[in-house]
Amino acid sequence: MNGKKILDEQLTYYRARAPEYDEWFMRTGRYDRGPEHRAEWFSEVAILEAAVEPVVKGKQVLELACGTGRWTKYLARWAAHTLAVDAAPEALQINKEQIRAANVDYLEADVFSWLPEKTFDVVFFSFWLSHIPPQRFASFLQMVRRALKPSGHAFFMDSLFEQASTARDHLAIDKSGFAQRKLNDGREFRIVKVFYEPAILEQRLRKDGWHGWVRSTGKFFLYGCMMKPAEIDEQ
């Protein structure tokens, strides 16, 4: 399967999944693994929330692959302004309806080809890094760099390699770089899913000149805050 084909299938999946997307985050439906699991999940979500607030407070934020707004909600609350970008009109529609914030603007765009027209204090992307094919990792980060003001920060969060994160009826996750996903109606899709180990991801970004850290919340998530490399050629 070539890179473009799987990215098209991935987007088709997220467009179809938009109305049921939040079941994953809320740990309901096929993601319901009981109260103990849910409590553990949300205690780690609280770590993410606490980390996001000081980074985006009062800032101009670009949110890439914003989805249905699980994190746009917090950006709307804490940031001065957010431009929320996603390629799925279905996700953008839900996001707009749920957030209804005057300080959030929306843009439908494919982040693999879109180039920002202005710069931001923070570029935020949640649960998106793992869906970037490894061969596009460098060009994606180059776009993030271009989107940042000098001394701007990229803040991201993503899934750790944890079987209990996925739906009960999904195949076990593996480290192939791909995942087989199902919708509630049984339709199946193949998507990109790359699991990163926080220390290795941090090392990789530091090698490219980013300054900052990548941490684990314990079991479910990684999150990172990296300052843009100083010596970038902005042309």
Task: Indicate the residue whose CB is closest to ligand SAM.
Answer: 67
Comparing CB distances to ligand SAM, the nearer of 135 and 235 is: 135
Least separation, in Å, of the C-beta of 125 and ligand SAM? 7
| Interaction site with ligand SAM (CB under 6 A) | 10-11, 14, 65-67, 70-71, 86-88, 91, 110-112, 126-128, 131
Strands 104-108 and 148-159: unpaired
Comparing CB distances to ligand SAM, the nearer of 182 and 206 is: 182
Report the half-sphere exposure of 231 (CA within 13 A, side-chain side): 2
Nearest to 222 by CA among 166, 162, 159, 153: 159
Least separation, in Å, of the C-beta of 54 and ligand SAM? 19
Comparing CB distances to ligand SAM, the nearer of 113 and 235 is: 113
The span from the CA of 63 to the CA of 83, in Å, is 6
Comparing CB distances to ligand SAM, the nearer of 38 and 234 is: 38
Comparing CB distances to ligand SAM, the nearer of 105 and 110 is: 110
Least separation, in Å, of the C-beta of 91 and ligand SAM? 4
Least separation, in Å, of the C-beta of 45 and ligand SAM? 11
Least separation, in Å, of the C-beta of 195 and ligand SAM? 13
Beta bridge partners of 181: 189
